[in-house]
Every structure is written in C-alpha cells, then in structure tokens.
Structure 1
Amino acid sequence: MGSIGVMSCGIHIHQCTNILKTAVHRGSCRNLHVTGRFAAKEYYDVVVVGGGAGGITMSARLKRKVGAGNVAVIEPSEKHYYQPMWTLVGGGAKQLGSSVRSTESLIPSGVKWIKSEVKSFDPDKNSIRIGDDKEINYKYLIIALGIKLQYEKIKGLPEGFAYPKIGSNYSVKTVEKTWKALQDFKKGNAIFTFPNTPVKCAGAPQKIMYLSDAYLRKTGKRADANILFNTSLGVIFAVKKYADALLEIVKERDIQLNFKQNLIEVRADRQEAVFENLDKPGETKVYQYEMLHVTPPMGPPDVLVNSPVSDAAGWVDVNKETLQHKKYPNVFGIGDCTNLPTSKTAAAIAAQSAVLDKTISLVMKNQNPSSKYDGYTSCPLVTNYNKVILAEFDYNGQPLETFPIDQSKERRTMYHLKADMMPFLYWHMLLKGYWGGPGPYRKLMSLGLK
C-alpha cells in the first residue's frame, strides 16, 4: 500500500483519518505520518492544559457537558501521582507504588489525550502552541498546570540528594529517601524546612516531622534526637485555631521551632544546612544534620511566567470567586497554578471544581457566573501514625469544619479518613468529576446538629 494523500481519498476526512490510524497500527505504510498530520484534529470545544488532579477532574466534568471527542487534555507525563499520600510514604506507612496510576487509565473515555508540553498561550487568538510547534485551538480553555518545584534555588541541590541522610516528600525521586534517612538515623539533629515561597500542601513539611518523632520514639532513638522545624514563616500554621493545637504538640514532644529561617544551601558531603535569618537579611547560621527533610521553593510553571494569561508573579490570573480569567472570559484556571489566595491542596481543587463546573455552564449559555468559591481548603495534619488534626478553613483563615466536633483535636478517625478514605475519594470520585468537596455534607451535618 502506498502513501495516501488526504485530498485524493475521495471520502470524508474523519474516515480517512481512521484509515490512516489503522494503517499506522498495522505498520503497513512508512510515509503516513507526513500526510496524517493534515488530518489531525486541531480544534476542540474545551482544551484542558495539565493532567493532574484539576485537569483530569475538569476533563471528566466537561466531557459530560460538550460530549466525547470535543475535549482534549494536554499532559506530557505518562504517570499520575496521588501526592497527598507521599507524607505516609516518607514516614514508612504506605508504599510509593500505591500512589501511582497511568495517565492513560485516568483520562476519561472519549477525551483526547495530547501527550505534549504547552510551549505558549495566545488567548487573543484562542490558541496554544505545543511541542513540534503545533497549534491547538479552543473555544474554552482550562489551565490546570500545577506548581513547579525549584530545588535548584537551594545551593547544593538537587545534586545533594545523591548523598544519604537527606530526603524530600515533595518529589517521586526523593520521597523514599526520606524514609531511608529516618530508618538510618542514629544521633543528632533532624531538621525539617519550610521555604520562603508559596507551597502546595503547607502542612506537609511538619507532618513528616511528627511522624519522624513518633518513629524515633518507637525505635528508642528519640533521646538522641534533636528535632528542629526551621520555617521561613512567622507562625507554625496560618489558622490560629489549629496553630494553637500544633504549638501544644510541639511543646509536649520537645520539638524546637525556629521561625524566619530560610534554607539557602545544603552541603551534603558535610551534612550541613545553611539558613538565612529573614529578619536580618545576610545573617546565616550553619546546622549539622543527621537527617534533613527539604521542602523546596516553588513557583509557577515556566510557561506561565510572562504569559498573557498570568499576573505579574506568573500565576494564572482568575477571579477568586468564579475561577474565570479576569481578562479572557473563555479562559479559566484551577488548582496550584492560579493566584487564588488559599492553600494549594487537593481538597481545594475538589471544591474549586464544583464551582468551576457551574461557572463554565453559565458562561456557555452567555450568562454571568453566580456560584462563588469561598476559598475552602483542607489540610489533614498527620501528627502520629494513627492521629490527625483535620484543618479546614476558608479565604479568611476561618475554620470551615465539616464534622460537628472540634477538629483541632488529634483523632484516630481522622487518620483513617486521611489514609484510607481520601485516596478512594480521589481515584474513584474526584478524578471522575463526581466529588466537589464536603460542602453539601457540612450543611447536612450542621442541620442535624441543630
């Protein structure tokens, strides 16, 4: 069989495309990729950029609105990770393998997966450019690109991870090193850091600290350990109710808090960590460590920096209540890549997805969005191998709790919610577009309580 030209097919383009796909699959034509390019569909009603939690969730929701074949997800990664589980992986309570699925298995059937990176946005022309300089056009665009880890901003990293005693629960490459460093701990400082940038899951840097404390107690090593939380912030947690509870735990477990301390260098060959005092710029202090858990600086993905869809800091510039772009009404953002002033968590994405679903529905009908995202986010603060403080709060930093109990207390039930229920909700409800956060249940429980 020779090369088939689209113009000489004598049949509809979509039929020709199917012939091309079949031929390529059978390996019967070497030149088909040349002409197949012209048959490729480059326009979609909805294009979702990013195949993380926000992207997969919104592709599932939008497919139900505009139909199969009309939604595309642009995502280069073949693997998708449930990252909230990495706290437990780093603490030895879960296996890394249980946090991963193939991207292909999660893309809703009928949604086109474009396995590529986005190179640039041109919202004035309703188009984006991807790898191979290909252009994808859209009617509606949802940006769900997540956040970028910036280990390279700390001198001595990421090459320092080649040495033992150092790990980070924020990367698939280094989360198991955290558990190894904890198991190998003998005597000295165990240091846990929090950077001077926005981060995803702001509770994670101290969750692993509490697990490490519990592990060292269980193995009889705690008396030889000095646990330090060196944070660039001036508080242990942004919401006072939970901060007060955490300060009690820190005091009770003899953990040393050092505020306004920002990690700027790691000398892994000497097991030294260098911190800058943010209250006295230029003043540094060197700490010896036996174990070091690094939370990296983070920022917007490179493609968003200086992009027309982003604010001056590089975050997607959306209305904080509707998630619609402030300048381009057919562009929307969700999750960690946006400038929404709330904590960047999977729970926040769930609540945002429900609002964004309603926003887009109304925009598609040429109506003004009316649903309002209140900034709801949740952080299950793991404080032991069987205890969790379930922090839930809104834009104003006010508790927005689901259960009719005091959630600032450590509870075994909340640990099971975090370790067992939430992964199930994520894989089987959120990513399929059926979970929009606990808002409706909170109202029901409040009524029941009254």
Structure 2
Amino acid sequence: MKMNKYTLLAAAVSTALFSGATLAETDVALDVITGDEAAPKVEKVNGTDVISDGWEVHGYASMNFRMVDGETVDTEFGKPDYKTAGTHGKSTNQVEFVIKKHTEHANGVWSDFVVRSEYGNGNSYAYSSPGSQKANTTAQFEIKETYVEIGGLSYLGEDTSIWGGQRYLNRSASVLSGEFWKQSSGVGAGIQTKLGGNTAGFAIVAADTDSDINSGASDRQTLTSHDLYYYGVDVGFGSLDFDFKYITQANVQDDDGFGASITLNSSYYGLDGWSQTAIAYGKGAAQNRGVNFGSWSGGDDNAESIFFTSGGVVNISENWQMGSEVTYFAGLDELFSAKDLKRYIVAARPSYKVNDNLRLEATGSYAHEEVEVGGVWGKSADAAESDIVNLELAAAFTVNADYFGRPQIKPYVSYILADDEASAKDIGIKDGKSETIIGVHTEIWF
C-alpha cells in the first residue's frame, strides 16, 4: 500500500498510544509530517522524583602502641572512672566507619540511611596478621548503628523528622577524660522537630543487658528509656540543652528510674574558645549519671547519683591553646553497691603550636575517689580512699597543629602516681605505687 504523510502520522500516533508513551511522564513533540527533528523533551517532575542522591563516608581511628616493661597491658589505668586523663587508652587498633546515604526528593522529603561499623574498641592485644587473628569474640567487627531518618513529610512539617533503628542518640563526652556521660545507645524510634525555634524530640530506646545477651536468658531484663529533650535555648551568653529520661526494666520488680540533665554550651568562661558545662541527676535504673542509657543501666531502685562536668578549649594566643576539665560524680547514698561513693578529677592540657605541623602538649590531672568501706568491686580493703596524679608529655606530628588538628602521630610519656599500693593496684599498676607508660598514639577522624 502506498504510504503518504498522513498515513505515517497515523501510524506514529497509533504506535505511541499502544506503547503508552502519550501518558508517560515525558511528553515528546513529534514532527513526522515535515521530517524535522523532534522538539526538546519537557520533563514532568513528580513529587517523589529523586533530585539529589549521594553517599558520605566519615570515620575515626585510634591506634595506641604502648608498652609497660616490654609488655602490652589490659588496663586504662582508671581513665573510664575519672581517675586519669592521659593518652594511655588500651585500644591498640580501634577503627570506626560511618556511611550515610542522603536522598532528597522534589516534594521536599529527604532521608538518611546511616551505618556505623566499629572494630577493636577495648581490645588491648597487639595482633599480627595470620589468616585469623583470634579465636575469641572480644572487640570484633560490629555494627554499632544502623537507622533510617525521614524528614520533610508534608503532614508533619518541614522541620520534623522521624527515625527508626539502632543508634547512639544525643551523645556527649567530657573533654579530657573522654567518657560519654550522656547518650541513649540501643534500638528504637523517635521524632524530632522545632518548637519556638529550638530542637525538640521524643524517643523510645531499648537495650538488653549484657548478661542477657551473653547467657541467652529466656526472661530478658530488657531496659527501655523514654527520652524527652529540648536543645538550643538561647540565654544570651550561650545555649541550654535539657534532657529527661524515664527508664524501665522488664522482669525486675519495681526497677525503674528517671534522670535529667541541663547543659550549657558557651564560650570558654568568657574567653576566646568554647566550653560545655552540665549537671545531671539519676535515680534507680538511671543511677549511672542520669542520662547515660545503655545495656549497663539498671540497678537498685533506691540508688541516686549527682554528676557535674565542665570543660572546653581556650585560645590563649596565636600559638597557645589549652583544654581543661573538672568532673564530679557521686552517689547520694549507695551507688554501684558502694556506700558514699565520691569521685572527682581536675585536668588541664596546655598545647603549644611550634609550626603548622608540630604541636607540643603537656597533660596534668589530679583525681580523688572515696567510699565508706574498702573492699567493694574486688578492691583491696585498704583502697577506700585514693588520690592519683597523672603527668604526661607529648609531641604531635600532624598535618594541622591546631588543638584538634588530625591526623596526628603522637609519641608520649605518661607517669601515674597513686598515694598507696592498694589504690595503684586497683587501676592496673602491678608493682608499687607508680607506673610510667611510653607509647605512640595515632589518631584520625574525618
């Protein structure tokens, strides 16, 4: 059959209809009559269309090569208990990677998928490189966070997001001791929004106890924290963060508790720099610094604690900076099975910038601990009261000699002195009242 231009047009339109092209998201202008090229495509954008999609990779690594009399040792010399503030953490090869997939859609909805993996946190052995490094399960490769957060949903508002999964929620640590005093570490879900221009949120986070996980208990004593927080309240000289947690525990009679904290984020006490000052109270299952929730929570329903920490970094001059910390932690009656427990530490770390790639540091700390009666936690009965001094000198070889410049390779010598041998033994000193640790600490975050 002889084809003319009208027959060709009919065939083209028929083909488009049968293929569904005329109802597709993209309209195409056809000009088969004149034989000219088709007009440019005009994209129709749906609200669910992805307009931005990408991956971010962040991380942290801490490699500590340290020796005591030619031997690696499995102790942090009391650092987690606010007794020292040196660089002598026991993790020989700790690595963290945080991978985030961020997606944005045409209708304003966005989502984050976050995975945090970790290896070696708390491992003190110096491993070689055989096919399998170890037969035990201490500090193996683990997934510490995996959650999804979605924001910008039209029925919740552009300032509101929801999340679900396993995460560290709202962590905060003291400056030199490095201990996280605030966090909710576990599996849960939450919502976060803006109220009065400030960040407000509510979350429920659950964590099984370490004993349940390792023993496979049939009646799990699962802990659950109900978090309420309100952050960023302007007070003129800084901002305040408020946290409140109500904690329950399954299959434990009358075992619940609550904790609260107030945090001030400000300059370095009126000087050039920054500081964070916080006070927290905890009772019952929240006895461990009130807002420090995880598998370690729980305990005597009547136990109470008060916690205070203040520290930061001041810029003294072009070349001098200093970090400092004052922390106090005490039971109001009985805490961790100890009567009248009191701990405090005062620490400072002045830092001198020699040039852009070399920084010299000195760290000094004084710590005190006391309990009513010695012998708790397997301690010597003579260690009811202790005073510990930690002095350290270090040189940081780095790509940026700022106080927080990383990566860096930092040789150090750390000297620890306790006031008696019983107290020294309690923090891992084998012989006598003192110990000298020589090491090289390598650190990077990105």
TM-score range, shorter chain: under 0.3
Larger relative helix fraction: 1
Task: Give 1 or 2 for the bigger CA radius of gyration.
Answer: 2
TM-score (structure 2 length as normaliser): 0.25
TM-score (structure 1 length as normaliser): 0.25
Greater relative contact order (CA < 8 Å, ≥ 6 in sequence) = 1
Larger relative strand fraction: 2
